[in-house]
Amino acid sequence: MMAGFGIVMAILSYGFVGFIAAGIGSICFYIYAKRRRSHRIALACATAPFLGLLWLVVSLLIHIQVSNRFAHQDCGFSPDPYVTLPDGYILGSLNTYDGYFKALGFETDVPMVGPGYVRSIIDLQLSGGIFTGTQFNFRTSRIRSFTFNTATRVFQTPDDNDSNGKECNSTDPQCVQIWGQAETSAHDDANSYWELYHQYRHRWPSYLLLAVIVLGEAAIAQGIRMLWIRSALEDRLP
């Protein structure tokens, strides 16, 4: 929830700054155009910065749909990033902290391991349809290794019957410290699930977003330029 709130606040902050910048640009363009061209052209110039800002919003909405529907991954601004692996499994991170993978048609739930999914992942590798990795075990407050067969959806771990350790409790400083170390490993380890995430993440939606933004903004600029040229030609006519 906190990660999602942070992203929403970041979007609102950038939106506010963009609106202020568009307002300042609009006033400057209006004053400049009013001194040289008609009131109609001045209004068009004043509108251009807001049209540019609106096009940025539209471009982002297009980017979200393209990422989700065609690239089958998050758009890059989501608090719950995910990618789709070649075998159809989805690899992601709930609120960027809780690493998971799941088969199509399954949803992650409160247990760290369930039908078609595994959560609380730290390290992860995929080879021959077998996930191999490590996971924080909340039942024992320990890190355990595991394997998961994507074909049979069988989860195996050597410490299933381990009775040592104690259940992780948010009021226990030792458990909190171990969980914090696991989170650090999940982001910094060479075999972190984030490495697999970046390996299978498509880059072309970002390039497409850039192209859409540039083409749209260029079209707006070209439209204003053509209006300006037409107004100049009309002024020269007898």
Whole-model pTM?
Answer: 0.81
Domain spans of the chain, in order of start? 2-71+204-236, 82-199
- What tokens were used for 51? 């049209």
- pLDDT beyond 80 at 31: yes
pLDDT tens figures, 109-133: 878 898 899 999 999 999 999 999 9
Across the chain, mean pLDDT equals 84
Q: Which amino acid is at 120?
A: S
Residue 6: its H or E element: helix 2-36
> Residue 238 has what pLDDT?
55
CA pair distance 136, 229, nearest whole angstrom: 66
Pick from 224, 222, 134, 227: which is nearest to 181 by CA? 134
pLDDT in tens, 129-160: 999 999 988 887 788 899 999 999 999 988 65
3-class DSSP state of 195? helix
- Contact of 129 with 151, CB cutoff 8 Å: yes
Indicate the pLDDT class of residue 192, thresholds 50, 70 and 90.
Answer: very high
- Res 41: pLDDT: 81
| In the predicted structure, residue 94 carries a pLDDT above the cut 80 | yes
Total count of residues recorded for the chain:
238
> Residue 3: what pLDDT?
41
- CA separation, residue 41 to residues 13, 157, 196, 225 (Å): 31, 71, 53, 10
The proportion of the chain whose per-residue pLDDT surpasses 70, expressed as a percent, equals 87
Residue 44 has pLDDT above 90, yes or no: no
Contact indicator for 212, 205 with CB cutoff of 8 Å:
no
Tell me what the mean pLDDT of segment 51-79 comes to: 90
136 vs 9, residue with greater confidence: 136
90: tokens are 């989805």
Q: Does residue 69 carry a pLDDT above 80? A: yes
Mean pLDDT of 75-85: 88
Residue 7 has pLDDT above 80, yes or no: no
Q: Looking at residues 28-51, what average pLDDT do you find? A: 81
Query: Which residue did the predictor score with more confidence, 125 or 77?
Result: 125
Nearest one of 84, 151, 154 to 118, comparing CA atoms: 154
How far apart CA 188 and CA 114 sit, in angstroms, is: 26
Is the model's pLDDT at 217 over the cut of 90? yes
Q: What is the pLDDT of residue 232?
A: 67
**For residue 79, what is the DSSP state?**
S
Among 3-7, 90-94, 138-142, which stretch is predicted with the lowest mean pLDDT? Answer: 3-7
